[in-house]
Amino acid sequence: MPRPWKILESVETDEGLLELRRRGDSDYAILIAGRMLMHGNLHRSEDAVAEQGCAPIAHRAAPRVLIGGLGLGFTLRAVLDALPATAEVVVAELNPVVVEWCRAHLASLTDDAINDPRVVVVVGDVMVEVRRAAAGPERERFDAVVLDLYLGPDDAVHGPMDPIYGTPALAILNAALTPGGALAVWGEDPNRRYLARMKQAGFRSTLTHTKPPGPRHAVYLGLKA
């Protein structure tokens, strides 16, 4: 019989109750409105989106990477593992309580990734950081942007004018990247319309799927021409 989940902390958000749960000593999960967002034993898709986003730029002398979404910290851990000691990694997370969880309850899951000296944590909307980079001097642009948000590009929810996944947002993301920079995006299911929008925004884009075990999620990779 599986062990029951224990709610460690919870907080109300605009999307519903956000919960951190633990089962046993080291089995963690984050849920929102009763829906499982991420599970500590199933982070293959987080690893995949991070690795694909960093692979094209990891050889650069001092790569600068932006991550949208912190979660349990596995995407951040995989990005750090793919980059040199000279890198800078900015993580934008909307919910300050998630940052607190990663510094406390969840630190052991990722070898305390959030406190790596290469990491800068910003509590806020990732697209604010994207727009700032796009409008600023070239030195403030990112070599890669990794979007690992709990709602990926689903046209039933996010249409072509969506502030994160829509056509205008993709143009800003392109402008926020250095030449040859990479945009990697997690998605729950494949969305060919989003892939087409990436191409229209000036990305050489591909769609792959994560491998078992765990759900077979989509990973979109766009390289700035």
Work out the end-to-end distance of the chain between its first and last CA atoms, rounded to an integer number of angstroms: 53
pTM here?
A: 0.94
Whether residue 34 lies inside any domain: the answer is: no
Using the predicted structure, report yes or no on whether residue 104 has a pLDDT greater than 60: yes
Residue 124 is part of a domain; what is its CATH number?
A: 3.40.50.150
Whether residue 152 lies inside any domain: the answer is: yes
Nearest residue to 144 via CA among 171, 117, 113, 179? 179
- Could you identify the residue written with the tokens 């990305």? 203
Rounded to whole angstroms, what are the CA distances from 177 to 106, 111, 150, 203? 31, 29, 23, 11
Sheet strands side by side (includes 177-187)? 119-123, 88-93, 64-68, 142-147, 177-187, 218-224, 203-209
CB crowding 188-206: b at 16 or more within 10 Å, else e: eebbeebbebbeebbbebe
Whether residue 19 lies inside any domain: the answer is: no
One-letter amino acid identity for 167? T
Q: What is the pLDDT of residues 34-93, one digit of tens each?
A: 888 877 677 888 999 999 999 999 999 999 999 999 999 999 999 999 999 999 999 999
Whether residue 6 lies inside any domain: the answer is: no
If you ran DSSP here, which 8-state letter would residue 215 be given?
-
> Is the Cα dihedral 111, 112, 113, 117 positive or negative?
negative
Whether residue 156 lies inside any domain: the answer is: yes
Whether residue 79 lies inside any domain: the answer is: yes
State how far the Cα of 91 lies from the Cα of 83, in Å rounded to an integer: 15
Q: For residue 51, give its domain range.
A: 42-224
Whether residue 90 lies inside any domain: the answer is: yes
Our count of domains for the chain comes to 1
Q: Average pLDDT over the chain, rounded to whole?
A: 92
Q: What is the pLDDT of residues 9-21, one digit of tens each?
A: 999 998 899 999 9
Residue 225 vs residue 18, higher pLDDT: 18
State how far the Cα of 14 lies from the Cα of 110, in Å rounded to an integer: 28
